[in-house]
Chain A
C-alpha cells in the first residue's frame, strides 16, 4: 500500500509560469512533510518542509500548502525556471520515527 502518492508522473510548464506539484497521503499519523528535488544519478536535495500544525510554508520561490482534511499537499514554484527541471519527491514522516516515506516522484520540465 502506497502511503504517499504523487499521481502525476510528469509536468511541463513554460518558464516564468507557476509549477504546481501535488501529493496525497493516506496515513493520518504523518505530521511532517518534505519536498526533495533530484537530478539523474544524484542524491535528492531538500527543498522545503511543513509541519502538520501549519497550512503554508514559504521559502523564496517555493511554497508548500497542506490540506490536512483532504490529506493533500502541494508545492508551488513561482516563477518557474529552466534550472528547476528535475524530479520532485514528496515525503512524510510520523511523530515516533524519523524515517521518511516517499512518493513516486513527478518529473518537472520547465521550457525556456
Chain B
C-alpha cells in the first residue's frame, strides 16, 4: 500500500555528529518536504523539493542539508552546525500544484545528547 515512510522513529546522537534522517514515498509525488516541530511553534519548513535534483531552502534551513537524487527519496542531514537539533522531524510529500494536500510520515524524534 502507498505511503510515506520515515525511519527511524527514534534517534539518539552525540553532540557534534552529523545524522541523516530517511524519508521514502511510493505515492509517485513530485514534491517532498521536511518540517521540524518544536513545542508551541507549530511546523516549520526546513527544505522542500519540487522535482528530482532540485530543492529549495525553507524558513529554517541553517544547519541542515538535503539531496533529491530519486523521486522516491528525500533524506535530511542534520549537521553539527545546527545549534538546537533535538526536535520532532516530519517528512511530507504531495503532487505539485495549487492546494495539493501534503501526506506526512510518522516522524522521527531526534535527541542529541
The residues of A with any CB-CB pair to B shorter than 8 Å are 6, 9, 31-32, 34, 36, 41-46, 49, 51, 89, 91, 93, 95, 97-105
Contact = CB atoms under 8 A, between A and B. Distances in A.
Contact of B99 (A49, A101, A105): A49
Given A9-B40, A45-B104, A102 B99 contact: no
A34 B48 contact: no
B90 A44 contact: yes
Interface residues of B, number: 32
Interface of B: 4, 6, 31, 33, 35, 40-45, 48, 50, 58, 88, 90, 92, 94-107, 109
A1 B33 CA distance: 20
Nearest to A90: B42
B45 A99 contact: yes
12 contacts: A41-B106, A41-B107, A42-B107, A46-B102, A49-B101, A93-B100, A95-B98, A98-B48, A98-B94, A98-B95, A100-B45, A103-B42
Nearest to B109: A41
Contacts, number: 70
A32 B98 contact: yes
A34 B35 contact: no
Nearest to B43: A102
Nearest to A34: B101
A95 B99 CA distance: 8
